Amino acid sequence: MVTPNLQPTLFTTPKEEALTLASTSLSQAQLWYNQNYLSYDISKVNELQYFELQELLFVSQLFKSELELEVIQKLLLKLPKPYSYDYNTIYFNIFLNSWEYLPKEIDEEEIIENYIDNLTAEDDEEKIKEMINTLQELLR
Same domain membership, residue 82 and residue 36: yes
Instruction: Find the domain containing 36 and state its range.
Output: 13-101
Same domain membership, residue 62 and residue 79: yes
H helices present in the chain, as ranges: 15-21, 26-34, 50-64, 69-77, 108-117, 125-139
Is 55 in contact with 39 (CB distance < 8 Å)? Answer: yes
Same domain membership, residue 95 and residue 27: yes
Is 105 in contact with 92 (CB distance < 8 Å)? Answer: no
What's the rounded Cα separation, in Å, for the pair 135 and 89? Answer: 36
Same domain membership, residue 127 and residue 69: no
What's the rounded Cα separation, in Å, for the pair 139 and 64? Answer: 53
Predicted TM-score of the model (pTM): 0.71
Residue 78 banded pLDDT, cuts 50, 70, 90: confident
Domain count, the chain: 2
Pick the range with the lowest mean pLDDT from 51-65, 82-96, 110-124: 110-124
